[in-house]
Each structure stands twice: as structure tokens, then as C-alpha cells.
Amino acid sequence: MNREALYHCPKSNYAYPYTTKDIRIRFRTAKDDVKEVRLFYGVKFDWANKTYRAMEKIGSDEYFDYYQYNIQQDDIRLGYYFEVITEEEDFFYTEAGMLDAFDDSLAHCLFFQYPSAHEVDIPHKPSWYSDAIFYQIFVERFANGNPDISPDRTVPWESDPTPKSFYGGDLEGITSNLSYLEELGVNAIYLTPIFESISNHKYDTIDYYQIDPHFGSKEDFRELVTKAHEKGIRIILDAVFNHCSEHFAPFQDVIKNGENSRYKDWFLIKEFPVNKEEPNYEMFASVPYMPRLNTANKEVREYLFDVVRYWTKEYDIDGWRLDVADEPDHCFWREFRKVVKEIDKDLIIIGEVWHDSFPWLQGDQFDTVMNYPITNQAIHYFAKGDIDARGFSDALMMQLMKYPDRMNEMMFNLLDSHDTERFLYMCNENKQSLMNAAAFLFGYLGSPCVYYGTEIGLTGGYDPGCRKGFNWNTEEWDTEVHNFYMKLIQIRKTEKALRYGLVTFLSSNDLFIMKRSYEETDIYVVINQTGHSGKLPKNVIPSNHTDLLCSQMMKGNEIMPYTAHYFKISKGE
């Protein structure tokens, strides 16, 4: 067997508390390499009464099998080790290595341990989050509700955007169209930055305490939040705390006064005087007009925390999305979390991290992250077609194993955003591929987010193409796509299995099959992303199943090309 493939790490995504009475243990082997994995465990101080259980194989990817067992008991001061059983051999996997025999007299030197679990260490899931359906709005491009405050150089709404074009979208435009969002079925809005800035995107903040005048006033924002809440819609603000605008007053003071500025340590300046032509300070990416903030500086931290307190308390917002969240220091984010959660533990914290996010998702920093790794895999399967259904399932399984169950349940899932090409554009305008991807998104673990306009067939390449104005001419909407999105949202809000259910992958090469199981209900998300019909594997889905997406009973096992289905099966029927 392949011993090098065996893996376990204590106090990690392979051993973690789901609750203080539920410790979840994982073990990895090479794919199809072992007959059984047993978990021996017991209370460390009562080791004579240890027991063992066969671990469940919860899934596989291209290279590995993953096993898990949930230890549910009152006393979780645990010692544990594994027995690996193959056709040829039987041995023990311990903290001391791989052993042919386990000597109980030396157990405390050999076993892994989980010494304790504390409520304060377990990531808190905001009570509303599992039911959330997000809608991202790029404020400058959603709707112009007050032309009187639009920039002088505003271009026609239907024109193609450039990096510096202004269209006049504002807060009043969002407020006046809340009924559209309510009818669509979303219940949380993530707004791109709204604070004062000279750009159209507002990711270069000039004043963190002022609404950009082309977006409206503080009273306009208060009205938006109030009316959204009346419709059951939450509001999430975008926090840009990694960097600011070159016109931010403290940075201007440093430019003027150099080493004598009281703000010189607010930024990461290599030498004085500041040189913007040949930048001698750290900046976002390679953008001189966005100098990085020194979040390790106490004054900077307190300034930004006061900003958070002000907008959260004064305007009753529901959380923060954190821009470029992987660049500020972890100490800053730990303090940030305390500030937010002291106001209300149900406020959501969403980090923008494009890669493996485990360092930020251990309960002491973010609640969740934008799940771009899943976005990328969806692009490969639905848009590019360079992986098949089994390869897509393998990639999803590998991603799920990077995080504890609770964090997977809280992932912020998306197909596109203001930082990507539009998904329809990536699909070469194949709307059926977009709809299949949306069926996956709304059937998957975590909370889905719709980027404004994707639900009506808005298309476009990378920035600025992905930031077109929302088309309010309903006659030009792709009504098939729009109706499909509304159907998906309605089903997700109705079916608890899609919000809370366990995930199991049962895919073949041609058919993507994902089972969501909750209480007495199973829902099978079945997608055929090929140009030919496929057959459901025998004994995977019982006969006479209801397809929620077309509200009909399906009696056969043939799945037509480029179609998506939600087959619901109630146990006992």
C-alpha cells in the first residue's frame, strides 16, 4: 500500500470541534488503497474504557480517499489513534508513527490527543447566514436614482464602460429598486465601497466617514438600510482597510511634512520624501494612488475600528466584506473581529481571499471568505469544459477537505464578480451552461451570491467589461435565464436540504451528481454538461422521483444534454 499517502494532523481541519460535544476526526489514504480505517478513542483519564469505530469514507478525489468519524460525547478530553486495514497488512497510525502493535501501557506517549473544546473557540455561525441569498451590487452601475448628483462627465447608461467612465449609479437607485430584488428573492445585498473617492469603483477611499457625494448622503444610506430591512434584506458594506487613496488626509500630510508628519507611521514608507513618480512606499498591487496602510500601527487600528463602530452602530448594517483581506496582519483582523462581534455576534465578516483561506478561518478572524477556488472549478467544468463531471466532483471534494465542516457550511459562493469576467461571457454566451452553473451554485454547500445582472443575461469581459450598467429595459432581458434564477432562489428558500444538508458526490464521467441530505429528505443535483444524453447509474437514485426544477415526476434514468435537475426524494415514500 501507499503509506506515504496516509495523513492526519491533530487540532486542524483533520481534527476539530463542531460543538463542545462533537469532535470530528478525519483520516486520508491513497484512493482505493485500504479495506477499512478504524478509529480507537477514549477519555485520556479513563483509557481502559477506550473503544473503536469504523470510520466512514465520506468522499474521494483523484488521488485520495477521505474518512471521517464524529465523536459525540460529554467528555471530549480525548486520546485517539487509527488502525489501517488492507488486504495484505494491518497496522496502527499514531502520533509516534506507524506501528505494528499498539502498547496500551505506553498509550499516553503514542496516541494523538484532543485535550479540550471551548465554546469560545468554535466559529459562530450568524443565525441568519445559512438562509442567506446574496446579491452583489457595483453601486456606480446598478441604477441612477438621482441624476442631480451624478458626475458631470456621466456617459449614457447603455454605453460600454471604460476604466474611468461614470454612469451615475447611486444609493437612491438601489433603494428605488428594492422591490425588484425582493421579487427576485434575494435577502442580503453586498455593496461595493460607498465612501468618498474619486474613482468609479471607490476602492481608493479619501474619507472613511463620508458617503461619496455622487452616491448620495448619509440620510440616503440610512433610508436604504431601513427600507431594505423592512423587506427582510440585509446590507453588507465593503471595507477597504488594506490601502487608501493618495488623497486620504493622513497620506497628504506625509507628502507635505515627510518625517515630521504625525502620520508617517500610518503607511509603509521606505524613505523620505515620498515620491509618487517612482514610488518608495508600499501600495496595493502596483497602483501608486493606493498606498498601503500600516495596520500594525496602533493609531491606524484604532482609527479603522472607530470607522467600523460608527457605520455599524449608527446605520445598523449587517456585516462587512473585507477587500484584499489576505494582506493586512492577522493581529489586526483578530482585533477587528472582537470589535465587530462585541457590537453583535450575528454580524457577518466576509474576507476576500482568492486561495487557501484556512489561516483566516479558525474562528478568530473571518466568518467566511469569497469562495473563488470553487468559482475557478466551475469555470473549468461549465465554461471551458476542460474537466468532466467526475473531475469537477474530485476538485470540490479536495476543496471541502481543506476546511472544517462548519466553515464549509458558511462559504460565500459565487460564479462571477466585479473582479472577474461575467460567467456568461466565459461560457461563450451559452446560456444553458450559465443556467447549469447556477443550478450547481444554488444546490451547493454554503450561501450563494448573484452578481448584479447575471440573472438577466448580462455579459462582458474582464474589468471594465464586467461592470456594465444594469439593463432596466425588461424587453431586452433573457427571460429564460431570469425565470430560471427566480426558480432556483425559490427552491433554495423552500428546501432545507439545499441549505443545511450533508454533501455526497456520486458523479460519473458524464453526469455531475451531488446528493444533499437533511432529516428525511434527499435532493440529488444532477447536471449533464455534455452534448449527449447520459444515464443515471443504477441504484443511485430511486425511481419515480420529483424534479423540482420542472415540477414533474421523472420515471426514467435518461438525462438529456445540457440540462440540470433537482430530484427530491422523501425517505419512507
Distances (CA, A) of 145 to 142, 152, 224: 10, 16, 12
Q: Give SS3 for 220.
A: helix
Predicted pLDDT at 552: 63
Contacts of 139 (CB under 8 A, 6+ apart): 169, 170, 171, 174, 191, 192, 193, 194, 202, 215
User: What is the spatial distance between Cα 279 and Cα 287, in angstroms, rounded to a whole number?
Assistant: 9
Single out the residue in 496, 523, 538 at which a domain terminates: 496
Please state, in angstroms and as integers, the Cα–Cα distance from residue 226 to each residue in 137, 219, 314, following that order: 17, 10, 12
Q: If residue 78 lies in a helix (H) or strand (E), which one and from where to where? A: strand 78-85
Same domain, 55 and 154: no
Nine-digit cell string for 199: 474613482
**pLDDT, position 87:** 94
Rounded Cα distance between 435 and 431, Å, is 6
What is the rounded CA–CA span in Å between residue 537 and residue 529? Answer: 16
Can you tell me the distance from the alpha carbon of 65 to that of 398, in angstroms, rounded to the nearest whole number?
Answer: 10
Boundary (domain end) residue, out of 439, 470, 496: 496
**b (16+ CB within 10 A) / e for 110-141:** bbbebeebeeeebbebbebbeebbbbbbbbbb
Q: Which residues contact 262 (CB under 8 A, 6 or more apart)?
A: 253
**Number of domains making up the chain:** 3
Distance CA 410, CA 128 (A): 11
Q: Please name the helix (run of DSSP H) or strand (run of DSSP E) that holds residue 489, with its range, or none.
A: helix 479-494
Q: Which of 47, 55, 60 is nearest to 15 (CA)?
A: 55
The Cα–Cα gap between 77 and 79 comes to 7
Q: Which of 83, 352, 388, 409 is catalytic?
A: 352
CATH of the domain at 28: 2.60.40.10
Q: Are residues 56 and 140 located together in one domain of the fold?
A: no
pLDDT attached to residue 572: 64
Spatial CA neighbour of 197 closest among 264, 151, 235: 151
Strands 511-518 and 521-528: antiparallel
Do 492 and 533 fall within a single domain?
no
Q: Is 323 a catalytic residue?
A: yes
The strands making up 234-239's β-sheet, listed across from edge to edge, are 368-369, 348-351, 319-322, 234-239, 188-191, 134-137, 447-451, 412-414
Specify the CATH number for the domain of residue 320.
Answer: 3.20.20.80
CATH code, 517: 2.60.40.1180
Domain range enclosing 532: 499-570
**DSSP alpha helix (H) spans, 192-326:** 218-230, 249-257, 298-315
Instruction: Write b or e for each residue in 294-323: b if 16 or more Cβ atoms lie within 10 A of its Cβ, otherwise e.
Output: bbebeebbebbbebbeebbeeeebbbbbbb
CA atoms within 13 A on the CB side of 526: 27
Answer yes or no: do 507 and 448 share one domain. Answer: no
SS3 for 318-356 is CEEEECCCCCCCHHHHHHHHHHHHHHCCCCEEEECCCCC
Do residues 232 and 114 both lie within one domain? no
Co-location of 112 and 152 in the same domain:
no
Of 140, 238, 318, 323, the active-site residue reads: 323
Task: Please indicate, yes or no, whether residues 556 and 421 belong to a single structural domain of this protein.
Answer: no
- The answer to whether 294 and 263 have CB atoms below 8 angstroms apart is no
Residue 437 CA to residue 430 CA, distance in Å, equals 11
pLDDT tens sequence for the chain (573 residues): 999 999 999 999 999 999 999 999 999 999 999 999 999 999 999 999 999 999 999 999 999 999 999 999 999 999 999 999 999 999 999 999 999 999 999 999 999 999 999 999 999 999 999 999 999 999 999 999 999 999 999 999 999 999 999 999 999 999 999 999 999 999 999 999 999 999 999 999 999 999 999 999 999 999 999 999 999 999 999 999 999 999 999 999 999 999 999 999 999 999 999 999 999 999 999 999 999 999 999 999 999 999 999 999 999 999 999 999 999 999 999 999 999 999 999 999 999 999 999 999 999 999 999 999 999 999 999 999 999 999 999 999 999 999 999 999 999 999 999 999 999 999 999 999 999 999 999 999 999 999 999 999 999 999 999 999 999 999 999 999 999 999 999 999 999 999 999 999 999 999 999 999 999 999 999 999 999 999 988 788 877 788 999 866 666 788 999 999 999 998 765
Same domain, 308 and 359: yes
Q: What is the pTM of this model?
A: 0.96
Please, what is the Cα angle at 65 between 64 and 66, to 5 degrees? 120
Q: Which pLDDT score is estimated for 551? A: 65
Boundary-marking domain end, from 102, 121, 140:
121
Q: For residue 396, what pLDDT is reported? A: 98
Q: Which of 261, 246, 138 lies closest to 197 in space, CA to CA? A: 246
- Please give the single-letter amino acid code of residue 371: N
- Same domain for 143 and 68: no
**Cα–Cα nearest to 371, from 392, 348, 351:** 351
CA 454 from centroid of its chain's CA atoms: 18
Whether 121 is a known active-site residue: answer: no
Question: Bridge partners of 205?
Answer: none
Q: Looking at residue 545, what is its pLDDT?
A: 80
Taking a C-beta distance cutoff of 8 angstroms, is the pair 275, 246 a contact? Answer: no
The contacts of residue 110 (CB under 8 Å, 6+ apart) are 81, 94, 95, 96, 99, 102, 103
Same domain, 109 and 153: no
Residue 104: per-residue pLDDT: 93
Counting Cβ atoms within 10 Å, is residue 1 exposed (0-12), middle (13-18) or buried (19+)? middle
159 and 218, same domain (yes or no): yes
Residues 359 and 413 in one domain: yes
